[in-house]
Amino acid sequence: MAVVAFTLIILVGSYFAGLLGSLTGLGGGFVIIPLLTLGLNVDIHYAIGASLVSVIATSSGSAAAFVKEGITNMRLGMFLEIATTIGAACGAILALYLPTQYIAVIFGIILIGSALLSLKKKTENIVREKSYLAEKLKLNSSYPGPNGTVEYSVTRVGGGFFMMIFAGIISGLLGIGSGALKVIAMDTIMRIPFKVSTTTSNFMIGVTASASAVVYFQRGYISPGLSMPVVIGVLAGAFTGSKILVNTGSSTWLRYVFAIVISALAVQMIYHGVTGKI
């Protein structure tokens, strides 16, 4: 394949990956890694390296808009980043020694789980329950709603923190933002509003990916020629997604499209992993 055609395919694919990652809080790696490994026969370690760079770009592109709008809970995000960074470094080291077919199967399973989670109806749970740790760390916050400022409380801080360690391990192992696990930790365990958990996830995934990217960079698995079109495409998609989410707050139709595409990619990843073709 010609270099120009190869670059254009990556640019277009990365744009849609950034758009989906921004709107769902899941990160663009869910699309980029299958695109590179299954569609373009790129070694999975180099695909993960490029994906990590794209995750950083996604976070940078969409997080700026969300922080400006006052939706992101920055204090909570910075606290939970301690856990995700530790987990990401451990996951990245593990990925270097784990056979590629195992990584592909694990990735496929995570994809299916993320597809199912994307179909779950999201509700803005406003919890008033007091938490000693949340008050001590000043994690409770508010965000601008359609009818004025909405205040919320953070609960079960310890459970959310340990879930973030696991999310970091998955991020480093598979080269994704593991936004689905972060959203679960904040939305289900810590009981903060979904819109806040999604935007805070976007804010966090860049730092998580950076911890993993250092390990991949040291091993030579981050290729500038591969990463450049990925970053450009993802950034463009992330900015588009952030504008859509801020202005509409709804992407129901996109969740169904996302679930179908991701499920198809998951089956392919698992098949190629089991048969040793990746």
Query: What are the sequence ranges of the domains in the chain?
Result: 3-274
The pLDDT assigned to 62 comes to 63
Task: Give 122-126 contacts, CB < 8 A, sequence gap 24+.
Answer: 122/187, 122/194, 123/194, 124/150, 124/193, 124/194, 124/195, 125/187, 125/191, 125/192, 125/193, 125/194, 126/150, 126/151, 126/152, 126/193
Residues 6+ apart with CB under 8 A from 204: 59, 77, 80, 81, 84, 182
The pLDDT assigned to 199 comes to 81
**Per-residue tokens: 31:** 């699309």
Model pLDDT for residues 39-49, shown as the tens digit of each residue: 888 888 899 99
Least confident of 162-176, 190-204, 233-247: 233-247
For the segment 68-83, the average pLDDT, to the nearest whole number, is 88
* CA atoms of 236 and 46, how far apart (whole Å): 22
- Does the pLDDT at position 250 exceed 70? no
The pLDDT assigned to 254 comes to 63
CB 70 within 8 A of CB 193: no
Residues 6+ apart with CB under 8 A from 199: 25, 63, 66, 71, 72, 245
The pLDDT assigned to 210 comes to 86
Paired with 148 in beta bridges are 145
Confidence grade of residue 80 (pLDDT, cut at 50, 70, 90)? very high
How large is the greatest C-alpha to C-alpha distance in the chain, in angstroms? Answer: 59
* CA atoms of 38 and 268, how far apart (whole Å): 8
CB 29 within 8 A of CB 52: yes
CB 213 within 8 A of CB 53: yes
- Does the pLDDT at position 133 exceed 90? no
Q: In Å, how far from its chain's centre is CA 138?
A: 25
**More reliable by pLDDT, 253 or 274:** 274
Model pLDDT for residues 187-218, shown as the tens digit of each residue: 778 888 877 887 888 788 878 888 888 889 98
For the segment 5-9, the average pLDDT, to the nearest whole number, is 90
The amino acid that residue 124 corresponds to is E
- Does the pLDDT at position 128 exceed 70? no
- The burial of 123, by beta-carbon neighbours within 10 Å (0-12 exposed, 13-18 middle, 19 or more buried), is given as exposed
Confidence grade of residue 164 (pLDDT, cut at 50, 70, 90)? very high
* CA atoms of 90 and 112, how far apart (whole Å): 23
- Does the pLDDT at position 38 exceed 90? no
* pTM of this structure: 0.77
- Does the pLDDT at position 124 exceed 60? no
Closest alpha carbon to 271 in 113, 105, 109, 112? 105
Closest alpha carbon to 166 in 52, 86, 54, 276? 86
The percent of residues above 70 in pLDDT, for the chain, comes to: 84
